[in-house]
Structure 1
Amino acid sequence: MRVRARVTTAAAGLALAMTVSLSGCITVHGERAVLPAVSPEEAEEVLADFTRSTNEANAAYDAELNAQIETGPLGAINRAGLTARGEVNPGGNESYEPLEFTDTRFRIPQQAGWPKFFVADTLSSRHEENRWLLVFTRSGPQEDWLASYLAVLPPGDLPPLAEDEEGHAVAVGPDGSRAGGAADGPAGEGQDGPELAPRDLPGAYTGHLASGDGPFAEGVHTSGILRAREEASDEPAFVMQYQDLPAERPAYAPVALMTADGGMLVLFSSHHHEKQTMAEGETPVVDPLVEVLMEGTATRSVTLVRDAMQAAHVPPGTGDVEILGRITGIVSAKGE
């Protein structure tokens, strides 16, 4: 940030908004049996409904419709963005260009119990080459499929995913155990599994941002963030304070698939508070989209609360975790 720089959303163009319910057939004995989370035909229907809903809600800036189809960090980020844009532009987005998906590959694991998930690995009309990974989660046999995560990755950054004997993706449980009908443990035969379990990643990552410690490779979403924060601390016109928290609500739970190297591709979320306190005589300038979400009046300071979605490759053994991609959005703000 700089003196009198506008406080704005970090991912203004990435908000997706969805409407209507995405239904799926009830999986018989889904509580006990190890079965594919969804059939390919059902997954295609879910994505088609998702696409129609995205285009309808984004054009109208309708946050209420979004709540019917999204959950977790993706839903929180998008609903805040739609709420803000709907207040600033109540007539909707007349220049909205419909979103389209092509070259879709469904990554469907076999799972027992609930929740279940699958991943749509697809190209979008928003990016010519980058792959979108859309995670759909279903919390019970009577519930609808809800989109919970999005990652946008260059195709070369997506590690090859493992498959079981039947060609299904292999889910990894919160504790690092390999789900489905394959052998126990996250690694293949003769391989060491990842030392860090999916449920440990949110805390490890936010701890890394707070202290610089932890098993994370250098990159724009790790050491790059730390450098940017250090540079901001040298500004004489304001003081920055940060608080990074792991996301712990069930809807924010990480999802993980086993990679061909015996590691994991994990999508996980976190919360980030950024407080900018201006020097005497300076006043924050707040973007109108942030002001809609803000409690209080920004006379001296502004605190932004962001949700973040990270996609990480956790290698087998004790190698460093690589954060492949990260999407953030402001979900609330406070002025003082």
Structure 2
Amino acid sequence: MRLRARLAKTTAGLLASLTLAAGLSGCITVHGEEAVVPAATEGEARAALDRYVEISNVAKRDYDAEQNRTIESGGLGDIDFAGITARAEVYPDGAEDFEPLAVSDTRFHIPQQMGWPKFFVADTATNQGRNRWLMFFTRAGIDEEWRLNYLASMPAAEMPEFAEDEDGFLDDIPAGEGGASEGYALAPRDLSAAYSVYLQSGEGPFADGPYTSDTRTARDQANSDPASFTEYRDEPAEEAEYGPLAMRTADGDAFVMFTSLHDQRQTVAEGQEIPVNELTAALMEGEARTSLTLEMVGIQAALVPAGQGQIQVISQMKDAVAITGE
């Protein structure tokens, strides 16, 4: 079993429940399994965001990876679980000069959905830099708490304008198996696989940019030294917890959050050393005598054009979730 898969299965059971009621006189309460209902009320979305901020500030201050697992999931949860675990090893007393997260000027984008999982988006300013954050909260059932599944950070001027349905709710695009895919350069559910193929071969409908052509160039340059060679493997993220989330923009394109998996194995010539910092060492299994393998998770935001055209990958968060030395 892959080490990142083991990390993904450490999530504890979640607490509490919310009930969504039909707004029609005489209707029974519905939970969203077979009825199209708002994924959340704005009050519930606000409460979920407040809960995230409160618990995140404690978990990241104290380097408590298990507590952080109660508020994050998917690739983001894996990345932070590994990072917090490593920091707890290196800094057992917690984070010095910790600056708690604060959010402001928050706008909620809530779709109407049938079945599970459901999601909503918080578009917010923070005290963690000038960029705005798009925070994607998901839950897989009525008895679960909302957890942050995707996060994208970008300047306010580059933030997409999302389309709304006739009722004023976010116009989401079903992105799972069997979801709508007609009319786009690529179906949202196929993005992870296509991106993996592109990184390996350069083939695919992706525009040049820092997370596409620049990544391929950097890989080529990394292997210009004969004393060191790095192999790269890219794979689609196929587990349900890594599923994409998609919504329409005001101009008819698709804004998609998706996850991908990346391994890189560096091997050095005899007599050469592999530099290993303290955080890498804290997460590493084995000893990096001749090789170092990083298992990485990437979460990306992409704009997929309606009709034909090139896909723009506009945001990425990528980091190691497991490290092996040999």
Q: TM-score scaled by structure 1?
A: 0.87
CA apart distance, 1:177: 8.0
Distance in 1 (CA, whole Å) between partners of 2:100 and 2:139 is 26
CA apart distance, 1:159: 2.1
Kindly indicate whether structure 1 or structure 2 has the higher relative contact order, using CA contacts under 8 Å at least 6 residues apart.
Answer: 1
Contact 2:173 2:246 in 1 (8 A): yes
CA apart distance, 1:270: 0.7
Distance in 2 (CA, whole Å) between partners of 1:23 and 1:85 is 30
Distance in 1 (CA, whole Å) between partners of 2:53 and 2:91 is 23
2:25 corresponds to: none
1:173 corresponds to: 174
Distance in 1 (CA, whole Å) between partners of 2:162 and 2:16 is 27
* Equivalent in 39, 42, 52 of residue 40 of structure 1: 42
Distance in 2 (CA, whole Å) between partners of 1:51 and 1:154 is 21
1:67-216 correspondence to structure 2 within 5 Å: 67-128=69-130, 130-174=131-175, 193-216=183-206
- % identical aligned pairs: 46
Contact 2:176 2:244 in 1 (8 A): no
Distance in 2 (CA, whole Å) between partners of 1:202 and 1:60 is 34
Shift in alpha-carbon separation, 1:23–1:45, aligned structure 2, 3 A? farther
CA apart distance, 1:156: 2.3
Q: How many residues align?
A: 306
Distance in 1 (CA, whole Å) between partners of 2:39 and 2:185 is 26
CA apart distance, 1:166: 1.6
1:335 corresponds to: 325
Letter in 1 for 2:288: A
Distance in 1 (CA, whole Å) between partners of 2:15 and 2:249 is 28
Task: Determine helix, strand or coil for the equivalent of 1:326.
Answer: strand
Gapped regions of structure 1 (runs ≥ 5): 1-18, 179-184, 187-191
* Equivalent in 255, 258, 261 of residue 251 of structure 2: 261
2:19 corresponds to: 26
Distance in 2 (CA, whole Å) between partners of 1:198 and 1:317 is 13
Task: Determine helix, strand or coil for the equivalent of 2:121.
Answer: strand
Shift in alpha-carbon separation, 1:176–1:216, aligned structure 2, 3 A? farther
Contact 2:108 2:122 in 1 (8 A): yes
Contact 1:22 1:69 in 2 (8 A): no
Shift in alpha-carbon separation, 1:111–1:139, aligned structure 2, 3 A? same
CA apart distance, 1:237: 2.1
2:214 corresponds to: 224
Shift in alpha-carbon separation, 1:43–1:121, aligned structure 2, 3 A? same
CA apart distance, 1:44: 0.5
Distance in 1 (CA, whole Å) between partners of 2:101 and 2:68 is 15
2:236 corresponds to: 246
**Cα deviation 1:272-317 (Å, max 9, x = unaligned):** 1011111221011211111121111100010111111000000101
Distance in 2 (CA, whole Å) between partners of 1:43 and 1:49 is 10
2:290 corresponds to: 300
2:264 corresponds to: 274
Gapped regions of structure 2 (runs ≥ 5): 1-11, 21-29
Distance in 1 (CA, whole Å) between partners of 2:269 and 2:155 is 41
2:274 corresponds to: 284
Q: Which moved more, 1:149-158 or 1:83-92?
A: 149-158
Shift in alpha-carbon separation, 1:122–1:89, aligned structure 2, 3 A? same
CA apart distance, 1:233: 1.5
CA apart distance, 1:158: 2.2
Letter in 2 for 1:201: L
Q: TM-score scaled by structure 2?
A: 0.90
Letter in 2 for 1:86: A
Contact 1:37 1:109 in 2 (8 A): yes
